[in-house]
Amino acid sequence: MKRNLKADLHMHSTASDGSYAPKELAAMIYRAQVELFALTDHDSTKNLKAMAEEASKLELNFLPGVEISSTFNGNLYHILAYGIDIENEELQKLLSSNSSLMEKKDDDSIRLLIKEGFTIDYEEYKAYEHIPSRGGWKTLNYLIDKGLCADVGDFFGRIFNKGRVVPFPEFSHPSKVIEVVRRAGGAAILAHPVYDKVIDNLEETLEHLKDFGIAGIECYHPHHNEEAVKRCLYYAKANKLMITGGSDFHGVLIPSRKIGYPIIYTDALKIEGLEDRILEH
């Protein structure tokens, strides 16, 4: 790419917990004047083909991606995989396994609430049909419709907090995820390293992921303050790692996040090696 493009390399659609389908999302990206974007649904590549078609219609530059869950030392790490072959069997097996683990966690969450006296019928919950355009996930929207939860903030702040915890599943180790991404022809980037983690431990986190083979760091993210961005950039440049960033847009689920924010241009990124994976227009 020769031009300095406005970029947003992290967003979600109805294939995971975003509220917009590819056609709607592409139109919003176009209106936001974002010229290069990536769709990175959680553990799903379901909407990538449709997104590529919509991007082509609007002459947007599109980078296929996915955000893969992993765990290490009891902590959850999200790995952004860019430029992957979505037909890769090993990759799809990993994504399917992660999705199944999350479905079990959701079921276990409802069982815990029933055990603690919430008025919930488990069979009713199992039969409940989640509508993707609402954003979020089945358990969240079921509890909202039952009048037991207000929104995603209430879900994590009151319903499931330090006093009522359903641990995240034991996903694959980051090193395994990174290797699968490599074999699928993609580049593995550590997503939002300061999302829920203490900033004092940032360099330790980055060092672990570098040792596991991470190719880059998402330095620009809505959860990163100026200090976090500066430290991520310094580490990435010192260790010759790729530099990415994005809005982590989810639509109505997290209305504070907007497409194209933080404002990023490709001159501020380092994505050498991915240019040939971008569907350019």
Return averaged pLDDT per consecutive 10 residues of the chain, 281 residues in all.
89 97 98 98 98 97 97 94 97 98 96 96 96 94 97 94 89 98 97 85 95 98 96 98 98 96 97 88 71
Specify whether 18 is located in the same domain as 91. Answer: yes
Same domain, 197 and 75: yes
Q: How many domains does the chain have?
A: 2
In a domain, 168, yes or no: no
pTM higher than the cut 0.85 = yes
In a domain, 187, yes or no: yes
Q: How far is CA 14 from CA 11, 33, 43, 130, 167, in A?
A: 11, 22, 12, 11, 24
Asked if 89 and 201 sit in the same domain, the reply is: yes
Q: What pLDDT sits at residue 273?
A: 86
Give yes or no for a contact between 121 and 110, defined as CB atoms under 8 angstroms apart.
Answer: no
- pLDDT at residue 2, as a whole number: 67
Structure confidence at residue 280 (pLDDT): 82
Q: What is the pLDDT of residue 155?
A: 96
Domain containing residue 75: CATH number: 3.20.20.140
Same domain, residue pair 138 and 14: no
- What pLDDT shows up at residue 69? 98
Whether residue 269 is found in the same domain as residue 144: no
pLDDT reported for residue 1:
60
| Residue 167 near residue 108 (C-beta atoms within 8 A) | no
Residue 13, amino acid: S
86 and 11 both lie in a single domain: yes
77 and 211 housed in the same domain:
yes
Q: Give pLDDT, residue 188.
A: 98
Structure tokens at 151: 């929104």
* 61 found inside a domain: yes
Please give the residue range of the domain that contains residue 124. Answer: 103-159
Residues 85 and 110 in one domain: no
Same domain, 110 and 91: no
